[in-house]
Amino acid sequence: MAAANHYLALAALLFTIGLVGVVVKRNILVVFMCVELMLNAANLTFLAFARHQGSMNGQAIAFFVIAVAAAEAAVGLAIVIAVFRTRGTLWMDEVSSLKN
């Protein structure tokens, strides 16, 4: 039978895949993509609960999440370009000047 649980489980799985990607991948662009995956998992949870409650507030929140993700992608990719210009690498382990 169809219920919100399927969708919530799918969102949990997507979120975990994104989380593992963020901690394992070392290419900064792929890490960004995994963050997008996690944002989408959150969106899916919002929509599943909106359908469960029968209210559209969750859909409005999902709209705002998409807008914020667009802004995040624009600024984040600009930072990636700036880092690549000064360091010549996309490899996250080599960008550690704040650590030392």
Partner 1 sequence: MADRAELFVFWLFAIPLVASALGVVVARNPVNAAMSLVAAFFFLAGIYVLLVAHLVAFLQVLVYAGAIMVVFLFVIMLLSLHEEDLKPARLKAIQWAAVFGGFGVLAVLATAIRDSGVLHWTTVAPDYGTVRAVGRLLFTQYLLPFEATSLLLLVAIVGAVVVAKERI
Q: Which spans of this chain sit near partner 1 (rule: CB under 8 A)? A: 1-10, 12-21, 23-27, 29-30, 32-34, 36-37, 40, 43-44, 47-48, 50-54, 56-57, 59-60, 62-64, 66-75, 77-82, 84-85, 89-91
Report the residue number, 81 or 98, with the smaller CB distance to partner 1.
Answer: 81
Could you tell me if 91 and 26 are in contact, meaning their C-beta atoms sit under 8 angstroms apart?
yes
Instruction: Give me the least distance between CB of 35 and partner 1, in Å please.
Output: 11
Report the residue number, 8 or 95, with the smaller CB distance to partner 1.
Answer: 8
Residues 6+ apart with CB under 8 A from 42: 11, 15, 65
Report the residue number, 54 or 98, with the smaller CB distance to partner 1.
Answer: 54
Cα four-point dihedral sign 87, 20, 78, 99: negative
Instruction: Give me the least distance between CB of 72 and partner 1, in Å please.
Output: 8
Could you tell me if 68 and 27 are in contact, meaning their C-beta atoms sit under 8 angstroms apart?
no
Short-list 40, 41, 35, CA closest to 21: 35
